[in-house]
Amino acid sequence: MCHPAWRRARIAAQRLRDLARLRRVRDRIDREYARPLDVEALARDAGMPAGQLSRQFRDAYGQSPYAYLMTRRVERAMALLRHGDRGLTEVCLAVGCASTATVPGD
């Protein structure tokens, strides 16, 4: 039988490892938002099942990995449209959306 304090310490250590993995996933999305990314690939690289990644990511950051990715893409697209002379289609492609049909609200 495990001592309760040892068990709590082990759980806390696992939680820290999980948070570090989630941070790496979030940082990768921030860096590579314009590249093709999907939850399965992100989860595989993080060493956890896709469902677990989605659940833990939502718990930590308040939205799913896919929603976070789309938020980054939309924010970048808005900045490019505000400060540039690119059209909507060109901006969509620049931020990783396959077409304007994949832009939320389009």
Between CA 68 and CA 98 the distance in angstroms is 17
Amino acid 106: pLDDT: 47
Mean pLDDT of 18-23: 93
pLDDT tens, residue by residue, 50-68: 999 999 999 999 999 999 9
pLDDT tens, residue by residue, 37-46: 999 999 999 9
User: Which domains, ranges and CATH numbers included, belong to the chain?
Assistant: 4-95 (1.10.10.60)
User: Would you say 86 and 94 are in contact if contact means Cβ atoms under 8 Å apart?
Assistant: yes
Q: To the nearest whole percent, how much of the chain has pLDDT over 70? A: 91
Amino acid 13: pLDDT: 81
Q: pTM of the prediction? A: 0.80
Which burial class, exposed, middle or buried, applies to 43 when counting CB atoms under 10 A from its CB (0-12, 13-18, 19+)? buried
Q: Mean pLDDT across the chain, nearest whole number?
A: 88
Q: pLDDT band for position 104 (50/70/90)? A: low
User: Would you say 22 and 57 are in contact if contact means Cβ atoms under 8 Å apart?
Assistant: yes
68 Cβ contact list (under 8 Å, min separation 6): 26, 29, 57, 61
Between CA 45 and CA 48 the distance in angstroms is 8
Mean pLDDT of 75-100: 88
